[in-house]
Structure 1
Amino acid sequence: MHAPTLPRTLLSTAIAATFTLAALSASANLSSRYTDADGDMVADAPTDEAQWADPDTLIFAYTPVEDPAVYAEVWADFLDHLSEATGKQVQFFPVQSNAAQLEALRAGRLHVAGFNTGSTPIAVNCGGFRPFAIMAAEDGSFGYEMEIITPADSDITRIEDLAGRQLAFTSPTSNSGFRAPSALLASEYGLKADEDYQTAFSGSHDNSILGVINHDYEAAAIANSVAHRMLARGVIEEGDYQVIYTSETFPTTAYGLAHNLDPELAQKIQDAFFDYDWEGTPLEAEFANSGEAQFIPVNYADNWAVIRTIAEATGETYDCQ
């Protein structure tokens, strides 16, 4: 394994209290473009059939990664399955950023997608994203932890050592790559971004991990599920970096669809996720590296509550009218 790590650390009493207070005011913040008649915090399908989308080609996008071509191959078999289940052509869209993925959804150019943890509430509220699935282990457990890592030979061995140093985040919309660690550092350690430590944005967890290993960054906040997959692919090696903090478990990528798809098509898409046989597939080969073996149903209102409260605790809003 990596250099000795700290035991998994739950949110401190101080930051947990902050999140609890924020949770009291957490509510749906859907754009006025959408409605939520059933109160499930996600956009309703249009009631007017004329507004239903039934494209000849479904566009699918997975959350931004360093090398989208790798994941085009990982998802190829599943997308063939999705095509057969829906009777549609399915195209993989290699997005380069969270913003590009959200814009494609909002503009109606993206129909099925996996949005990263922190981007999911933005996609829900600003793009009409309807999450319905998450990857899980065979026993139904799911999630990942945020880790703060430093180079293996770094003298930064505890959170307090970050004062006056540099910490790389991934993007402002990322939960583990920005929101959770910035909230933690400010609330528990009194370290504020760009005041008590320098910040950089790498664009992805892959970039952050490689940046730390190559000494481009002094430290980085990452999702450990990404690191596990990179280790399994041989992109990085055991002991390339040290872990100085591990968070509580968060939900991982949410899979869902655009709110305005024809309901019959939307149901076929959902069924395709839950009917997919992972055994012997590229999807299994890739995601088994982070302990995932199936798709299970997810409830946005419940499963993303902690993510919404983290966002509120850090002053993030979903005002995207």
Structure 2
Amino acid sequence: MTLSFTRTLLSAAITGAFALTTLGAAADLSSRYTDDDGDMVADVPSDESQWVDPDTLVFAYTPVEDPAVYAEVWADFLEHLSEATGKEVQFFPVQSNAAQQEALRAGRLHIAGFNTGGVPVAVNCGGFRPFAMMAADDGSFGYEMEIITYPDSGIASVEDLQGRQLAFTSETSNSGFRAPSALLRSEYGMEAGEDFETAFSGSHDNSILGVVNQDYDAAAIANSVAKRMLARGVVNEGDFDVIYTSETFPTTGYGLAHNLKPELAQQIQDAFFSYDWEGTPLAAEFENSGEAQFIPITYADHWSVIRTIADANDVTYDCD
């Protein structure tokens, strides 16, 4: 894999981006929820009758090309979670971001890892309460958005996307749609559907494989996913070239449905931070992108840059 072009995407430069109305990130919670403490996430209901304490907890990781692989990756952690809570824990292999968001809103999902751009949607529309993120041993975290192409595609820089096809993942994805949309308009004056054609692959895995197989001319992806696919041998060095690398963004946010019984919610959070990664399938998978522990986060602080990108895209939502 070669790096032929690198530029930093600064929040201050993300202006005048795509006008987009979608079920997306926004600054305010749906009217279904309250935020009396001002932390930008849904409060736990004050009425105990609204708390839920399910016999089986359902966990979903952000959609990937092969959910069965990640069911095995998460199996040991979910066993640890079961022991910590005294509950059965079921892995829910979601096929799309929309399915994951709907499961949360419908009360069928209790614990989840939402992709970076999906976290604000889950927070504002589904009452998601993020509390953790993966990080390296030294506490550093994050990933970059990259635009990739296949070798000899004739695309050596962002400007070469003119008249070609660029694949996104989904409209709720930060690195798979919102960040590159803001970048292409603000820094290059390029409009989707006018200056380049678009496609939506559904996941970063699909976008990467689509470029490698030359189904897409180029794609906007999260490089953390590419690193894991390279480590597993799903793709190889030299299968694609990187023409753009952004600033660092927060990774998948892990959290809870807002209406879980507080005692149960605390047990779940404690389980994340007490998990011993050493020698586990989780460690083997995520060490490929440099992650080795869960660290505490707040939505207000860690997702500030993501909200800036959403604002630059004029993203609104209608959750009610």
**1:269-319 CA-partner distances (Å, limit 9, x unpaired):** 000000000000000000000000000001100110111110111111233
Instruction: Tell me by how many angstroms 1:14 deviates.
Output: 6.3
Q: Go from structure 1 to structure 2 and tell me whether the alpha carbon gap of 1:13 and 1:85 turns closer, same or farther (over 3 Å shift).
A: closer
**Following superposition of structure 1 onto structure 2, how do residues 1-321 of structure 1 map, counting pairs within 5 Å?**
2-7=1-6, 9-11=7-9, 15-16=13-14, 28-321=27-320
- Quick one: distance in 1 between partners of 2:13 and 2:179? 10
Q: Go from structure 1 to structure 2 and tell me whether the alpha carbon gap of 1:274 and 1:170 turns closer, same or farther (over 3 Å shift).
A: same
Instruction: Tell me by how many angstroms 1:28 deviates.
Output: 3.8
Q: Go from structure 1 to structure 2 and tell me whether the alpha carbon gap of 1:146 and 1:260 turns closer, same or farther (over 3 Å shift).
A: same
Please, what is the CA RMSD of the aligned residues? 1.4
Per the normalisation by structure 1, the TM-score is 0.95
- Quick one: distance in 2 between partners of 1:190 and 1:38? 41
User: Are the equivalent residues in 1 in contact too, given 2:14–2:309 (CA < 8 A)?
Assistant: no
User: Are the equivalent residues in 1 in contact too, given 2:4–2:242 (CA < 8 A)?
Assistant: yes
- Quick one: distance in 1 between partners of 2:258 and 2:69? 28
**1:206-230 CA-partner distances (Å, limit 9, x unpaired):** 0000000000000000000000000
Instruction: Tell me by how many angstroms 1:27 deviates.
Output: 7.4
Instruction: Tell me by how many angstroms 1:252 deviates.
Output: 0.6
Instruction: Tell me by how many angstroms 1:12 deviates.
Output: 5.1
User: Are the equivalent residues in 1 in contact too, given 2:2–2:238 (CA < 8 A)?
Assistant: yes
Instruction: Tell me by how many angstroms 1:11 deviates.
Output: 1.9
**1:96-145 CA-partner distances (Å, limit 9, x unpaired):** 00000000000000000000000000000000000000000000010000
Kindly provide the amino acid, as one letter, of the partner of residue 15 in structure 1: A
User: Are the equivalent residues in 2 in contact too, given 1:27–1:41 (CA < 8 A)?
Assistant: no
Question: What's the secondary structure of 2:89's corresponding residue?
Answer: strand
Instruction: Tell me by how many angstroms 1:203 deviates.
Output: 0.4
Instruction: Provide structure 1 residue ranges, at least 5 long, that are not aligned to the other structure.
Output: 20-25
Instruction: Tell me by how many angstroms 1:4 deviates.
Output: 3.3
- Quick one: distance in 2 between partners of 1:79 and 1:260? 20
Kindly provide the amino acid, as one letter, of the partner of residue 179 in structure 2: A
Instruction: Tell me by how many angstroms 1:35 deviates.
Output: 0.3
- Quick one: distance in 1 between partners of 2:12 and 2:254? 32
User: Are the equivalent residues in 1 in contact too, given 2:142–2:251 (CA < 8 A)?
Assistant: yes
Q: Go from structure 1 to structure 2 and tell me whether the alpha carbon gap of 1:116 and 1:226 turns closer, same or farther (over 3 Å shift).
A: same
1:23 maps to none
Q: Go from structure 1 to structure 2 and tell me whether the alpha carbon gap of 1:4 and 1:122 turns closer, same or farther (over 3 Å shift).
A: closer
- State the percentage of identical aligned residues: 78
Instruction: Tell me by how many angstroms 1:6 deviates.
Output: 2.6
**1:60-97 CA-partner distances (Å, limit 9, x unpaired):** 00000000000000000000000000000000000000
Kindly provide the amino acid, as one letter, of the partner of residue 40 in structure 2: M
Question: What's the secondary structure of 2:113's corresponding residue?
Answer: strand
- Quick one: distance in 2 between partners of 1:27 and 1:131? 15
Kindly provide the amino acid, as one letter, of the partner of residue 8 in structure 2: L
User: Are the equivalent residues in 2 in contact too, given 1:14–1:187 (CA < 8 A)?
Assistant: no
**1:20-46 CA-partner distances (Å, limit 9, x unpaired):** xxxxxx974111110000000000000
Instruction: Tell me by how many angstroms 1:18 deviates.
Output: 6.2
Question: What's the secondary structure of 1:114's corresponding residue?
Answer: strand
- Quick one: distance in 1 between partners of 2:86 and 2:260? 14
Q: Go from structure 1 to structure 2 and tell me whether the alpha carbon gap of 1:288 and 1:209 turns closer, same or farther (over 3 Å shift).
A: same
- Quick one: distance in 2 between partners of 1:136 and 1:273? 13
Per the normalisation by structure 2, the TM-score is 0.95
Question: What's the secondary structure of 1:79's corresponding residue?
Answer: helix
Instruction: Tell me by how many angstroms 1:177 deviates.
Output: 0.2
Runs of 4+ in 1 over 4 A off after TM superposition: 16-19
- Quick one: distance in 2 between partners of 1:144 and 1:5? 18
- Quick one: distance in 1 between partners of 2:39 and 2:157? 41
Question: What's the secondary structure of 2:291's corresponding residue?
Answer: coil
